[in-house]
């Protein structure tokens, strides 16, 4: 379940209204390489150590292929490619174009998509068809030191 909070647009509509939209928020939980390795090991029968070794090799291997201008496709995940921009560094003629004009380089990721034949729609392989959204629960702010700061529903112990 993904939580969301209301967020007001910074851009007004033609009639001057700033509309509100749901804004998905992260749970804050971080899933580490070790957690992913444990999950893969449990499903595959490979050892956690072997999976960690493979995952640690993935980055440098992908970097090598991407650095050679290749696109990397991981089935079930998606594709990766390099993008470079030369914003604000244009020149007057094509003869003057050089690699030194690039001002930023980044990796672009496209999640794998497939067609759901039953529904006739395109689906993203990394988004569960069971995905649901729920309004975020506001966290209670603790009182200033010495103020008590109890949380409702736990007997006032502050735990």
DSSP label at 41?
Answer: H
Q: In whole numbers, what is the pLDDT of the chain averaged over residues?
A: 85
User: pLDDT tens-digit profile of 123-139?
Assistant: 787 888 788 889 988 77
The predicted pLDDT at position 151 comes to 40
User: CA 26 to CA 29: how far, in whole Å?
Assistant: 8
User: pLDDT tens-digit profile of 59-91?
Assistant: 999 999 999 999 999 998 999 999 999 988 889
The predicted pLDDT at position 113 comes to 85
Pairing of strands 104-111, 72-74: unpaired
Flag whether pLDDT at 120 surpasses 70: no
User: CA 144 to CA 159: how far, in whole Å?
Assistant: 16
The predicted pLDDT at position 154 comes to 39
Residue with tokens 């999976």: 51
Helix (H, G, I), strand (E, B) or coil at 18: coil
Is 0.75 topped by the overall pTM? no
Rounded mean pLDDT, 105-122: 81
Is residue 57 within 8 A of residue 67, CB to CB? The reply is no
Is residue 124 within 8 A of residue 113, CB to CB? The reply is yes
User: CA 18 to CA 13: how far, in whole Å?
Assistant: 6
Flag whether pLDDT at 118 surpasses 80: no
């Amino acid at each position: 379940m993904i939580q969301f909070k209301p967020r007001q647009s910074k851009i007004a509509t033609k009639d001057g209204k700033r509309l509100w939209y749901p804004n998905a928020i992260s749970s804050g939980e971080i899933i580490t390489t070790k957690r992913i390795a444990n999950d893969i090991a449990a499903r595959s029968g490979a050892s956690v150590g072997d999976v960690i070794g493979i995952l640690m090799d993935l980055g440098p291997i992908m970097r090598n292929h991407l650095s050679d201008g290749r696109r990397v496709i991981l089935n079930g995940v998606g594709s990766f490619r390099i993008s470079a921009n030369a914003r604000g560094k244009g020149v007057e003629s094509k003869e003057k174009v050089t690699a030194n004009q690039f001002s930023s380089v980044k990796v672009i990721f496209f999640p794998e998509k497939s067609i759901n034949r039953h529904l006739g729609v395109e689906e993203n392989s990394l988004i569960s068809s069971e995905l649901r959204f729920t309004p975020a629960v506001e966290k209670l702010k603790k009182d200033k030191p010495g103020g008590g700061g109890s949380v409702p529903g736990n007997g006032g112990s502050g735990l």
